[in-house]
Structure 1
């Protein structure tokens, strides 16, 4: 499984309040998604195209355990979130809904905002198509890849009520 898109680069400690601003919590998830990153990147909505990739530094998704943060990114059409590291809750929520959350130490050293990138889950690499640079991702188990292939934990369970398998 590989994803290709334009990189939207963010720094360290991007918290869930930045990803999904609280001003829109009474709205639908589609409306919340329209305002993703608004406090720190007001032009993100206009620059983003479905299939693009969010790339970030350390501790992405910190703050509250808001499930709306990864959900809004998935609804918006983010194909993957690649970061140096994630908060545990954001990572788990991303996996649960089938939003690829990929840990890639050093990714912000080889990717700039606007670069064309390929995130190859099977090969475990993020390639910058613009510069030719690449960085390895942390290994992903076959069980975790099967969750992404199914589209999330609930979808995986519907297909495999016996639980996670290595198939």
Structure 2
């Protein structure tokens, strides 16, 4: 996983970005992150999937990830190499699916101050988003330590495998 505190480009989207806008349903023939990672935002912002580089960020407005409960939307961002998602608010199911898949997410009321192309980094423990372009730091809701651990270990599946392995010794 890319370190989300490392500054990288922000791809900014607006309010109410739903899971079908993140990954159009016609691409849901696979659950492979690499396959899905070729198509995020294909209809909404076609240049994204071609131009996004590993370690860059997605920034949303309010209610990011609304719609379907399927994990394909955050999985497509993982497959595209997105380092994390910052939004003013998330649909609850997207937020939890992202955590379960090891995709860092932060709720940041000031996410609307981030411009497309700004260089940002996110700090999960501190609950901050640093906008290096604007030389500003925004408060976010820090993830509780348990959720930070899930993300750092690559998601719920990886966390559970390690937990079972360590408990068996």
Aligned residues: 162
Q: Provide TM-score, normalisation by structure 1.
A: 0.90
Taking the TM superposition and a 5 Å limit, the aligned residue runs for 1:17-28 are 17-27=20-30, 28=32
Q: Residue in 1 aligned with 2:38?
A: 34
Contact 2:106 2:142 in 1 (8 A): no
- Of the candidates 132, 155, 159, which is equivalent to residue 156 of structure 1? 159
Give the alignment's Cα RMSD to 1 decimal.
1.8
2:145 corresponds to 1:142: yes
Contact 2:106 2:127 in 1 (8 A): no
Aligned to 1:93: 97
TM-score (norm 2): 0.89
Q: Does 1:60 align with 2:60?
A: no
CA distance in 2, matches of 1:138, 1:117: 16
C-alpha distance in 2 between matches for 1:40 and 1:122: 32
Q: Is it true that 1:108 corresponds to 2:112 in the alignment?
A: yes
How many angstroms does 1:47 deviate by? 2.5
Kindly state the Cα deviation for residue 5 of structure 1 after the two structures are TM-superposed.
1.3
Q: Distance in 2 between matches of 1:3 and 1:80?
A: 11
Partner Cα separation in structure 2 for residue 3 and residue 147 of structure 1 = 19
1:45 Cα shift? Answer: 1.8
Q: Secondary structure at the match of 2:37?
A: helix
Superposition map of 1:120-135 within 5 A: 120-135=123-138
1:79 to 70, 73, 83: 83
Give me the whole-angstrom Cα distance separating, in 2, the residues matched to 1:144 and 1:31.
Answer: 27
| Partner of residue 44, structure 1 | 48
Q: Is contact 1:38-1:44 (8 Å) kept?
A: yes
